[in-house]
Amino acid sequence: MALLREGKLVAFPTETVYGLGARADDDEAVRRIYAAKGRPATNPSIVHVASLSAACRLAHLGVQARSLASAFWPGPLTIVARRRAGAVADATTSGGDTVAMRVPAHPVALALLTQLDLPVAAPSANRSMHVSPTTAAHVARSLGDRVDAIVDGGPALHGIESTIVRAVDGEPLTVLRLGAVPLAAIATFVSPHAVTDASARVDAMDAAAPAPGGQARHYAPAGRLVVVSRADLAGAVADARRAGERIGMVAVVDRPHLAESEITLAADAASYAAGLYAALHELESRGCDAIVVERVPDGDTWSAVRDRLRRASVPQRR
Ligand code: TXA
Ligand code: MG
């Protein structure tokens, strides 16, 4: 905690993924986060706070924002609202006039924020565009000595990032990123017609300053990742073998017995999400340069997972 107060970088657990934290009111500290991640300064950071009243000190929360906050905080919902002048550093919001905030439900994160009594900017604790970390070991492998400390709080419960909604008075509520809170849960708090889903937007990879969260390639392991139906797994493995690649596979429920490294995940969306990033980290650490992922079911409960797999399978720019 003293490290954070001094403007140092501390990775800490949340219920979604691990965050790379620095005090949000300190431009220099926040710039250190961007340097450690290799993240463009144009991509703003989520600010973690201890309570709704702490969030109200940073931004103007309207009726919708307050009702969402009361319903979902502490928890994996990030609310974007019009920022108050001077409340957080410009580097935190990339100079924008809004700020993204959430109260995390992880006991360690919450205790840290409560005792510190400062807003903490924290993107996911991984190199920019890479797979998010769900354990302290993932953070160490990705960022290592680029952070001043890593707080180990065990594996993250949800294993997928928070859902982000923009709730600015006078505008329709807009979902910017699907995540641990399902869209249907948000729609019960406002008229479903009043929610716009903008989460599927994908920006061109060569966009000079991609809009927040819109990067085409994201959440990606070092190797190439392909998503295919169960029936096409064998063909995808054969292609990779011909190319001489080391093959890893992520399957749903049953082991297909096709690749040397196979990880199976559960068939319910929440358990699958909780294990997905850990599976990708594991296959990457085994040196797999082709990761074949079995397509997940259709349906709304899987949409956050489908979004991550779609972005992770966008080929790397050469
Ligand atoms: O679950 C999570 O949200 C994790 C944990 C650590 O809290 N954090 C996380 O942060 O996923 P990050 O930086 O990896 O993703 C935050 C996303 C980015 O796509 C960013 O562009 C968007 O939130 N964002 C941040 N501030 C914003 C703002 N003012 N308006 C719109 N989008 C914003
Ligand atoms: Mg991230």
Q: Distance between CA 236 and CA 229 in Å, rounded?
A: 10
CA atoms 219, 105, 211, 90: torsion sign: negative
The set of protein residues with a Cβ atom below 6 angstroms from ligand 1 is 14, 16-17, 19, 43-46, 76, 78, 80, 93, 96, 98-100, 122-124, 161-162, 164, 176, 212-213
User: What does the alpha-carbon distance between residue 295 and residue 100 come to, in Å, rounded to a whole number?
Assistant: 31
Taking the CA atoms of the chain, what radius of gyration do you get in angstroms? 19
Do 246 and 289 contact (CB within 8 A), yes or no? Answer: yes
Tens of pLDDT, residues 145-202: 999 999 999 999 999 999 999 999 888 899 999 999 998 899 887 765 678 888 877 6
pTM to 2 decimals? Answer: 0.95
For the stretch 105-136, pLDDT in tens is 999 999 999 999 999 999 999 999 899 999 99
Quote the pLDDT of residue 206: 45
Average pLDDT over residues 199-220: 64
Q: Which of 127, 161, 201 to mutate to test the pocket of ligand 1 (most atoms within 8 A of CB)?
A: 161
Residue whose token pair is 């019960």: 188
| Residue-range domains of the chain with CATH | 2-197 (3.90.870.10), 224-312 (3.40.50.11030)
| Ion ligand 2 — residues with CB < 5 Å | 124
Mean pLDDT of 255-278: 97
Ligand 1 atom with the smallest distance to the CA of 160 is 1
Looking at ligand 1, which atom is closest to the CA of residue 96?
Answer: 29
With contact defined as beta carbons under 8 Å apart, do 83 and 97 qualify? Answer: yes
